[in-house]
Amino acid sequence: MTNEDESKVYTSQMVTLELDQTSKSRVYIHKALLISRAYLAEYFNKWASNTHQETILPITGWSMPVGSQVAHWLYTGKLSFNVNVHEDNIGDYDGLLNIFKKLAELYLGADRYKIDDLAAHTLDKLDAIFRSRGLSWWEAMGLLGETPLDGTGKLENLLIGVVADTIVRKGWEAYTADDPSFVPWLKKSAMSPPFVVDLMRRIANSKVSREAEAA
């Protein structure tokens, strides 16, 4: 932000975001910053017009950690925590699940209120983590099974896409040799039909992309 922009932001009134009326979780943000985002501006203006209340705005679907991260992002353009794909604390599955839940919840919160740059940033971070790690199919399915999703499909697409790219990179025979349980699981899993179709489509698309890059 320029000095003039900062002045406009910090001299504007404060708005209280009420995240949960039961626990009274609140996040505070300057109005000028809040309405700098088109969807939030539309939501705020509609709420203010209907209720004549311009200092409190109810937000659904955000936990306190998500609300705090969103506010931090709007002020700084950064996350308040460091996501390093090489950190030891995401080395095992529990660590991977923890960081996935944290970033997935933040993504879903940002996507719900159309904070597109934050949503894209969290997806990029997850993609970098999974590709650095070499995400396996069972990790992908485990993450999908243990994390509440909202049906947008973007998190599912990310996970399946990384697995597909890994199979293309290694080759089917090498991938299934590294993990002999993969094919038997596909044959008996209730998730197999849609998963297999999507996976095969993505493998084909990944092959086309790699061949185009090599040409």
CA dist 196 and 31 (Å) reads 47
Confidence band (pLDDT; 50, 70, 90) for 148?
low
Closest by CA position to 152, among listed 97, 112, 199, 201: 112
pLDDT at 39 over 90: yes
Asked if residue 88 lies in contact with residue 65, where contact means CB atoms within 8 angstroms, the answer is no
pLDDT at 45 over 80: yes
> Strand (E) positions, the chain?
14-20, 25-30, 56-58
pLDDT for 150: 55
Q: How many CA atoms lie within 13 A of 180 on its CB side?
A: 0
pLDDT in tens, 110-128: 999 999 999 999 999 888 8
CA dist 22 and 209 (Å) reads 50
Q: What is the pTM of this model?
A: 0.80
pLDDT in tens, 54-99: 899 999 989 999 999 999 999 999 998 877 655 545 667 888 888 8
Q: Which residue has the higher pLDDT, 129 or 29?
A: 29
CA dist 112 and 211 (Å) reads 36
SS3 state of residue 18: strand
Q: How far is CA 209 from the centre of its chain?
A: 24
pLDDT for 31: 95
pLDDT for 156: 82
